[in-house]
Chains A and B, each alone.
Chain A
Amino acid sequence: MDTMNHIAILPILVPLAGVIANLVMGDLKSNKLLRLNVAFSIILVLVSILLIVALAQGDGTAAAVYSLGNWPIPFGIVLVADRLAALMVLVTSILALAALLFASARWYNRGTNFFPLFHALTMGLNGAFLTGDLFNLFVFFELLLAASYGLVLHGGGRNRVKAALHYIAINLVASFLFLIGVALIYGTTGTLNMADIVRAAPLIAPENRGLFEAGAAVLGVAFLIKAGAWPLHFWLPNTYSAAAPPVAALFAVMTKVGFYAILRLWTLIFANGQPEEFAFGQASLLAIGFCTVAYGSIGALSSKALDRLASYLILVSAGTLLLAVGYDAPSVTTGALFYVVVATLAAGALFLLKDVIDQTLPAEAQVLAVSLEFYGDEDEQLDEDEEVSPTTPAAATVISWCFAVAALVMAGLPPLSGFLAKFVMISGAINTGETPTAATWVFTATLIVSGLFVLIAMVRNGINIFWTSLPDGAVRIRMLELVPIVGLLGLCVVMSIAAGPALGFLADTAAGLHNPASYVTSVLGSGAAP
């Protein structure tokens, strides 16, 4: 077992060590505690970078296969760090670092045990991305959910508790469905290793095929709940907008776990290259994706407050990703992978930004968004004719630029990475076949129109915040809170500039995804033969 493979487990072990360190050394002075946790987060980012760099050396199908307990595959649990997993781990780690820095400013001590829960959530996320075992996936889902329950409650208050209890209830049901799905799949294939399931799936006895697909469908419902798909996502806007901002920021990657699981398992088992009778679920994915985008965009239009708007944007991106998965073409998947990175980072930044804006704005500003438009603002008539623009304080300028960048990325407007992602997805869809099909038109129209809706919603909120509500005089912002936001959005900008190489990497990743045989070989071929 070479070193590269050992790296594969570190993104799980580093946060675990973080959890332990916080529990064992819980009575540290606050600045030492902060330094300790930031250190863990930085190490995690470094480890993730190391992993992805190691994988980028090989071709698109390279994967680090790590057999836990050194048991022969497929009997023991196996971690499979391929490019997709490594990418998601990196996004998670970066977002986690940003959220953790942000929380260090003041949010961390609004409740107990923020840091251990936070690290546990990252551990769960990374584990879910890395594992190659269906039941182990369940375990990590449980871990990230358990930690998220605690984090939603962080900060307390009636709203949070109410939203959190809804969230917990729905997700307990989802876990139950997950378990039923896994049980049916295990019962019909006799194995839990994902690659081994791919191997076993065509061999399932005909009378068990129905059970297997029922299991997959129920499992799919569980994933769709996590992914924020309509009509299973009504808990999401409430939960995300009620959660403490750094928590909500990290949650931006949580819906992507559902997306990841669907992308991973569906492309492995049911999509491309499977014989007709085994292909399954594509129409449902497209329909659900469409409904999710539609609902999310309309919800975004109806949102008055920025945190709610950001929550609906999460739905829009979730739906976009589901549509892209359902489209089942490597070029579209490439764009979707690009999109998942930038949309996650920008959405995270938006949740953090919302908190910074809240601190600078008078409280009533958030309500006025729509009513101002409608009724006009009478008391402003006095200086109507004065043709001198207000001077914007430097800090406010920085925030407004951050907002603008986030808005452009989320709406998918030129010239930033959100646009490039949509470009790659749509051009992939249009150029996949000889002539565009109905699915192509729906896909294109959905992406474009949702972008327009998001633009309108963001413009309205932006105007309301920066053009009507900013108080006069200098605005004070904590550097510790500004740096993560600027960092996340800066990455989105860098992704736009370095789109060429990034897309090259992602295209290889997508090609690997659409070639399940290579995944199976790299897992089953690297250990003992089954």
Chain B
Amino acid sequence: MPTELALTLIWSLPFLAAVIAMAMPAGARNGEAWLAGTVAAVGLVLTILLFPQVADGGVVHSTITWMPAYGLDLAFRMDGLAWLFCVLVTFIGLLVVLYARYYMSPKDPIARFYALFLAFMGAMLGLVMSGNIIQLAIFWELTSLVSFLLIGYWYHRSDARDGARMALVITGTGGLALFVAMMLIGHIVGSYDIDVVLASGRLIAEHPLYPVTLILFLLAAFTKSAQFPFQFWLPNAMTAPTPVSAYLHSATMVKAGVFLMTRFWPVMAGTDMWFWIVTYGGLATLLFGAYAALFQRDLKGLLAYSTISHLGLITTLLGMGTPLAAVAAIFHIANHATFKASLFMAVGIIDHETGTRDVRKLSGLRRSMPFTATLAIIASGAMAGVPLLNGFLSKEMFFTETAIYDPNVFVNLSLPIVATLAGMLSVAYSIKFVHGVFFGPEPTGLEKTPHEPPALMRRPIELLVLACLAVGIIPGITIGPYLAAAVVSVLGGDTPYYSLSVWHGFNLPLIMSIIALLGGVAIYVPYYRRLRGIDGDPLLRGLRGQRIFERLLITATNRWARKMVSVFGTQRLQPQIFIVVLLALAAGVGAGWARMGNLPLPSSFDPVLGLVWIVGGVSALAAAWQAKFHRLAAMILMGGAGLATCITFAWFSAPDLALTQLLAEIATTVLILLGLRWLPKRLPVPEDISIGMRLRRYRDVILAAAVGLGTGLASYAIMTRQAPEGISEFFLANAYTEGGGTNVVNVMLVDFRGFDTLGEITVLGVVALTVFGLLRRFRPAPDSADRPEQQRVQADFAEAQGSANVAADFLRIPALIMNWMFPVVMTVAIYMFLRGHDLPGGGFIAGIVMSLGFILQYMAGGTRWVEDRLRILPVLWIGWGLLIALLTGLGAMALGFPFLTSAFAYADIPLIGKVPMATALLFDLGVFALVVGATVLMLIALAHQSIRRPKPASTPQPRKREGLDTWN
């Protein structure tokens, strides 16, 4: 089989199988187990077959192109270290699958378990085989994500959810740190290819970016491998099903951190910074883990802390920076995986068969479960470092390395002393595990009667324990070549001579081992009764990382975040608008202030226009002042301001603009007036004259004045200075010759910039639909449902006078005139429309005139009266208006010209005379129809308020939106 295919299969098969496992039926326990087991076995076989190619420092590659331009491809490479990890992952994976088949309850949704299990296996294999450091970060994060889902497998338990979340947050943070670290390494080395990185020698360690890179790098490794001070997530991850704990949280995933440090050891280690952080971080973890393990009553907790401790041991070794220490680290990785996985499975069996993992309830199980007891005792021996077991060998190597003379007195003393102390503690907790569970009197008060598990469930443990023994007794034959391959792949030419023999003579490390063994016994024997009952260590019990983390997370997210959101944000409209205006002012002034140029006073000034402007300005100010409590007055004043604008347009020879402005002003005023009628009355409340309020108002006034001044100055500058040579000349020159009209404004609207007009009429139509949609649901407020006060007074007066039905005759005479005016208005509209291209007028103006005609009818006759006689269907007017405009534009396209290209000719219409028939006129017709439709639609929306029943007297409670109340 080609190597590349084998490599691809090893990492991709688990993912494919995960998808298949997901899709399998709920009850297919055996099917799932066979699937997962086959995948693991195939992976194992393929890996083993690849060994010859990696044996002597060889490396095999397979690359799938992904994002080559960014140096990120799916590159997989297998060397000795990756090979060792692949074997661990697939071999232990295979055993765990078998074990889980018996461990997991038939009622569990097993498809999810195996799917996640397989996905994890794929992620882990991808991680160790990564040939690209960014890809490594990707798989790294994937293992965290899948681990999250596996820890939370029993998500109905709150401790599982908490444990899962904590693990994800901690390791996810580390993953992000790793991502940045990898990009920095990529920047330093110039490639994300791991071969290039590993070949870069001292480049990284001597680069100015090394410190920050190293910190981020170690953050990742320490979080993943549960090193101090991030160790606390691992015991909480033990809420996962035991197969998961055995696989992820002892044998494989937590090894990713030490794998990472080993992988990059050649290029990152060997500096002072590395030495101090890694060695002492590891040493602290080693000691703390061993110490805490001694006080656990949950067997899985004990194993979890023991795992932390052993990871600390490996980290310490990697920190020391000597090649021999690196050898020991790699060796211990493999050893720890075997004995710890078997111990977890043994605990799982005990839990399964007795219903508890509490060491206080268990004892004397050697009688009911002799096989399991034997296996667990041997594995514990390996954990404690008993000779002839694999744990002893690597621990001995560790002691050797710590005992090497170092010129620094602190280092020279602290390393061996702490190592021996931790060794004593680990012996003690191993004895606690063995003695507490398997010896002593028969257990009492268990839910189940303990007995041996199914033979197949024990088989994985047997195999692992066998490995412990084999490696422990004949290391040279069993693990020698494989360890050598791994070591060479890391150390390359620096590979030192090392000996795997069991007996090295009577030397200092052996003395340390003996002290550790005896000391462990000495710790355990006098205190075992007390240790049995205790939960949590007496010294550090109050200082629980988990608790601190939870508190911090809750406080940060719940309290601080909410506080920040409310301090740096606002829900209220007025402050928001204030900020917007302030920022606009700041931006404008900040950008323009220094380079405004000088602003000369005008050479001439017309007092009449000045007067008009003063009136307009005062009207605008007064409108703003009155707007809160006197809406009608404000409306009228706004009309005054609008009129001033109209006069200004007319003054400066823009009759078309003036006309448009005037008509739009009228139409909007009328519509708003019609709407005002339905607004609830706003009663003036006693003036708030607190200082804060006053200051706020002064502040607002100052801002408003500043903005007005700024805009005014800018406008003044623009209008008084020589205009730049721009596009406007073109319009004046070509309106008649090219656009066929002498009214330049109209030609611009329907031709030069007809596309703008098309957009704007769509806006108008949309606004009309929106207004209609909004008002359709509204019911008049109770206090405005009654007749207006004026009508009531008049009716009362009429009643008092005895004359009946005054209200019906209300405004009779004006109404009659308005009715009669309808044809006249229509005629004016048509006239305005037709003359538009050459003289002030056009579709927009005509449309407003026409709709004013309709408004007059509604005002005169009332909604019911008009609609009995006239069906206007304004939505259709809008639709047809847009359609006509669109078709006009499309017509040009049909002839091969761009959209909205115009053509024109003159037509001689009897009575009216020569009329320019530009296609633009057709477009203008669309504008006309739309303006009529939109205005009338808004009118109808308002008018229909009067024929609706008012809101029920009791206003219904607004439906509360969950979760919003607190911050709204």
Considering only residues 847-893 of chain B, those with a C-beta below 8 Å from chain A are 875-876, 878-880, 882-883, 886, 889-890, 892-893
**B456 located at the interface, meaning its Cβ lies under 8 Å from any Cβ of chain A in the complex:** no
B595 and A123 within 8 A (CB): no
Residues of B within 8 A of A189 (CB): 724, 726
A370 and B554 within 8 A (CB): yes
B882 and A221 within 8 A (CB): no
Residues of B within 8 A of A143 (CB): 759, 762-763, 766
Complex CA distance for A377 and B183, rounded to whole angstroms = 42
| A74-B727, A231-B579 known; A305+B962 contact, CB < 8 A | yes
Q: Which of A205, A372, A459 is packed against the most chain B CB atoms within 10 Å?
A: A459
Residues of B within 8 A of A479 (CB): none
A120 and B561 within 8 A (CB): no
- CB B749 to nearest CB in A, in angstroms, measures 12
**A273 located at the interface, meaning its Cβ lies under 8 Å from any Cβ of chain B in the complex:** no
B180 and A448 within 8 A (CB): yes
**B109 located at the interface, meaning its Cβ lies under 8 Å from any Cβ of chain A in the complex:** yes
Task: Give the nearest-CB partner of B356 in chain A.
Answer: A385
**B959 located at the interface, meaning its Cβ lies under 8 Å from any Cβ of chain A in the complex:** yes
**A202 located at the interface, meaning its Cβ lies under 8 Å from any Cβ of chain B in the complex:** no
- CB B469 to nearest CB in A, in angstroms, measures 32
Contact with B along A376-401 (1 / 0, CB 8 A): 11001001101111111000000000
**B598 located at the interface, meaning its Cβ lies under 8 Å from any Cβ of chain A in the complex:** yes
- CB A70 to nearest CB in B, in angstroms, measures 4
Residues of A within 8 A of B880 (CB): 24
**A69 located at the interface, meaning its Cβ lies under 8 Å from any Cβ of chain B in the complex:** yes
B172 and A302 within 8 A (CB): no
Residues of A within 8 A of B237 (CB): none
**B157 located at the interface, meaning its Cβ lies under 8 Å from any Cβ of chain A in the complex:** yes
**B505 located at the interface, meaning its Cβ lies under 8 Å from any Cβ of chain A in the complex:** no
**A525 located at the interface, meaning its Cβ lies under 8 Å from any Cβ of chain B in the complex:** no
21 CB-based A-B contacts, threshold 8 Å: A1-B898, A9-B898, A19-B882, A20-B882, A67-B898, A117-B766, A120-B762, A120-B766, A139-B763, A149-B770, A153-B770, A159-B964, A161-B774, A169-B573, A211-B592, A215-B714, A298-B564, A302-B565, A424-B67, A463-B165, A503-B67
Complex CA distance for A184 and B876, rounded to whole angstroms = 39
Residues of B within 8 A of A374 (CB): 554, 558
**A216 located at the interface, meaning its Cβ lies under 8 Å from any Cβ of chain B in the complex:** yes
Which 9 pairs between the two chains have the least Cβ-Cβ distance? A190-B726, A207-B597, A214-B592, A23-B879, A210-B595, A150-B770, A187-B718, A190-B724, A217-B591
Residues of A within 8 A of B890 (CB): 13
**B947 located at the interface, meaning its Cβ lies under 8 Å from any Cβ of chain A in the complex:** no
A214 and B589 within 8 A (CB): yes
Task: Give the nearest-CB partner of B557 in chain A.
Answer: A301
B172 and A455 within 8 A (CB): yes
B717 and A217 within 8 A (CB): no
Contact with A along B770-782 (1 / 0, CB 8 A): 1011101100000
B896 and A146 within 8 A (CB): no
Q: Which of B568, B588, B962 is packed against the most chain A CB atoms within 10 Å?
A: B588
B721 and A207 within 8 A (CB): yes
Residues of B within 8 A of A177 (CB): 580, 584
- CB B294 to nearest CB in A, in angstroms, measures 25
**B405 located at the interface, meaning its Cβ lies under 8 Å from any Cβ of chain A in the complex:** no
**B241 located at the interface, meaning its Cβ lies under 8 Å from any Cβ of chain A in the complex:** yes
Residues of B within 8 A of A5 (CB): 898
B595 and A299 within 8 A (CB): no
Which of A45-53, A100-108, A246-254, A415-423 faces chain B? A415-423
Checking A139, A161, A383, A500 against B156 with a beta-carbon cut-off of 8 angstroms, the contacting residue is A383
**B442 located at the interface, meaning its Cβ lies under 8 Å from any Cβ of chain A in the complex:** no
Residues of A within 8 A of B765 (CB): 19, 23, 120
B141 and A301 within 8 A (CB): no
Residues of B within 8 A of A34 (CB): none
Considering only residues 220-237 of chain A, those with a C-beta below 8 Å from chain B are 220-222, 225, 230-232, 234-235
| A69-B755, A238-B571 known; A214+B727 contact, CB < 8 A | no
Complex CA distance for A222 and B165, rounded to whole angstroms = 41
**A116 located at the interface, meaning its Cβ lies under 8 Å from any Cβ of chain B in the complex:** yes
Task: Give the nearest-CB partner of A365 in chain B.
Answer: B962
Complex CA distance for A366 and B961, rounded to whole angstroms = 10
| A23-B876, A467-B152 known; A153+B773 contact, CB < 8 A | yes
Which of B36-44, B68-76, B693-701, B806-814 faces chain A? B68-76
**B137 located at the interface, meaning its Cβ lies under 8 Å from any Cβ of chain A in the complex:** yes
A390 and B109 within 8 A (CB): yes
Where the two chains meet, the residues of B that have a C-beta atom closer than 8 Å to any C-beta of A are: 26, 65-70, 72, 105, 107-109, 112-113, 134, 137-142, 145, 148, 152-159, 161-162, 164-165, 168-169, 172-173, 175-177, 179-180, 183-184, 186-187, 208-209, 241, 550, 553-554, 556-558, 561-562, 564-565, 568-571, 573, 576-577, 579-581, 583-584, 587-598, 711, 714-715, 717-719, 721-728, 730-731, 734, 751-756, 758-760, 762-763, 765-767, 769-770, 772-774, 776-777, 875-876, 878-880, 882-883, 886, 889-890, 892-893, 896-902, 958-959, 961-964, 968
- CB A31 to nearest CB in B, in angstroms, measures 21
| A139-B763, A156-B777, A500-B65 known; A427+B155 contact, CB < 8 A | no
Residues of B within 8 A of A280 (CB): 591
A217 and B590 within 8 A (CB): yes
Task: Give the nearest-CB partner of B568 in chain A.
Answer: A295
Task: Give the nearest-CB partner of A381 in chain B.
Answer: B158
Complex CA distance for A422 and B209, rounded to whole angstroms = 21
Residues of A within 8 A of B180 (CB): 426, 444, 448
- CB B98 to nearest CB in A, in angstroms, measures 19
| A231-B568, A436-B187 known; A209+B595 contact, CB < 8 A | yes
A158 and B70 within 8 A (CB): no
Complex CA distance for A348 and B7, rounded to whole angstroms = 38
- CB B584 to nearest CB in A, in angstroms, measures 5
Checking B108, B556, B573 against A166 with a beta-carbon cut-off of 8 angstroms, the contacting residue is B573
Task: Give the nearest-CB partner of B103 in chain A.
Answer: A387
- CB B108 to nearest CB in A, in angstroms, measures 5
A299 and B565 within 8 A (CB): yes
Considering only residues 1-44 of chain A, those with a C-beta below 8 Å from chain B are 1, 5-6, 9, 13, 16-17, 19-20, 22-24, 26
- CB B754 to nearest CB in A, in angstroms, measures 6
Residues of A within 8 A of B584 (CB): 177, 218, 221-222
**A326 located at the interface, meaning its Cβ lies under 8 Å from any Cβ of chain B in the complex:** no
Residues of A within 8 A of B109 (CB): 389-392
Considering only residues 63-80 of chain A, those with a C-beta below 8 Å from chain B are 66-72, 74-77
B723 and A69 within 8 A (CB): no
Complex CA distance for A379 and B133, rounded to whole angstroms = 46
- CB B117 to nearest CB in A, in angstroms, measures 13
Residues of B within 8 A of A234 (CB): 569-571, 576, 579
Checking A67, A192, A387 against B154 with a beta-carbon cut-off of 8 angstroms, the contacting residue is A387
Residues of A within 8 A of B726 (CB): 186, 189-191, 200
A184 and B161 within 8 A (CB): no
B583 and A221 within 8 A (CB): yes
- CB B571 to nearest CB in A, in angstroms, measures 7
**A206 located at the interface, meaning its Cβ lies under 8 Å from any Cβ of chain B in the complex:** yes
Q: A75-B727, A156-B777, A206-B595 are in contact. List 12 more A-B contacts (CB 8 A).
A: A19-B766, A68-B898, A112-B772, A158-B958, A196-B727, A217-B592, A305-B962, A387-B105, A389-B153, A414-B142, A463-B155, A503-B69
Q: Which of A188, A189, A241 is packed against the most chain B CB atoms within 10 Å?
A: A188
Residues of A within 8 A of B72 (CB): 420, 423
Residues of A within 8 A of B893 (CB): 6
B899 and A13 within 8 A (CB): yes
**A276 located at the interface, meaning its Cβ lies under 8 Å from any Cβ of chain B in the complex:** no
**A356 located at the interface, meaning its Cβ lies under 8 Å from any Cβ of chain B in the complex:** no
Complex CA distance for A9 and B886, rounded to whole angstroms = 12
Residues of B within 8 A of A367 (CB): 962-963
Complex CA distance for A187 and B728, rounded to whole angstroms = 11
| A191-B727, A467-B152 known; A214+B176 contact, CB < 8 A | no
Residues of A within 8 A of B889 (CB): 13
Residues of A within 8 A of B209 (CB): 435-436
